[in-house]
Amino acid sequence: MAKNSYYRKIKTLFWQDSKVSEEMNINERYFFLYILTNPHTNLSGLYEITKKQMADETGFSKDELNELINKLVSLKLIKYDSKCNEILIINWSRYNWSTSDKLLKGVGNELLYVKSSELFNNLKEYLTNTDFSLEVNDINTISISYNYKNSRNKNENIEEEGEGEKRIRAMTKKKNDLPFYSELKLNNQQLSNVAKITGVELNDVVNSYDEIKANSFQLSTGEFIDSEEDFINYINSKFKTGREYSSKNLPFY
């Protein structure tokens, strides 16, 4: 493996997203996967890449690349600044950021080197509709933070004070704050038991386990599933109450 190589996660939901399955041809899907996983990508999802680099690494001609870029722009998946040779993956933060202070500090450091003010402002505007916020304190300081309060307000069934506050803090626990944290590992027998306990089809339980495993067992709420009991509650929430965990209601990009 090459030195300084990185892994990029692609959820299996990628292939079920309507933009991918219904509005893209083979070349467009391949190119979008390249945009998400090429060696120039970074933590922020806003990175520098020239059309020559894209052509050399994908095999597409210049004319083909222009068409592919325009298609992804029209689908509101990316924005590209040809003057600065920089690209912004619009929903990158949804699938690649976490509440980790270390990660968010790294994102802020990367954004210091962004050349395109247009793409920088596009990212800042987009983040106003998420639980993340971007602040420019001075020319040498860009900070990204996670808005726990906004995240809490999305949970309509959780009280704002007393016992509810304790539950909220538990939901937003961070992986780095858990000194004895270990990823959930359930064997086939345990997954079968979960299916029996919840009354959910085994295949749905296994698929759900694989989905959250691919995301390091972190949910969109910031909560980590780190026990069999947590997983059972997750399955109950997903299949019996129709809460936000349902992947059917959440597009991949």
All domains of the chain in start order, with CATH: 12-146 (1.10.10.10), 173-249 (no CATH)
Average pLDDT over residues 30-45: 95
State the pTM of this model: 0.61
pLDDT band at 76, cuts 50/70/90?
A: very high
Phi/psi region, residue 76 (left: phi>0; alpha: psi -120 to 50; beta: rest), is: left
pLDDT of amino acid 159: 45
209 neighbors 232 (Cβ within 8 angstroms):
no
CA 41 to CA 155: how far, in whole Å?
A: 33
- Reply yes or no on whether the pLDDT at 187 is more than 50: yes
177 neighbors 169 (Cβ within 8 angstroms):
no
| Tokens 């538990």, residue located | 170
The SS3 of residue 135 is strand
Average pLDDT over residues 134-155: 73
Mean pLDDT is highest, among 2-6, 80-84, 212-216, 237-241, for: 80-84
pLDDT band at 221, cuts 50/70/90?
A: low
- Reply yes or no on whether the pLDDT at 117 is more than 90: yes
pLDDT band at 171, cuts 50/70/90?
A: very low
pLDDT of amino acid 56: 97
What are 146's strand-pairing partners? Answer: 132
243 neighbors 9 (Cβ within 8 angstroms):
no
- List strand residue ranges (DSSP E) for the chain, in order: 46-48, 78-81, 86-89, 132-138, 141-146
Average pLDDT over residues 176-204: 74
The C-alpha torsion from 238 through 219 and 24 to 26, rounded to 10°, is -110
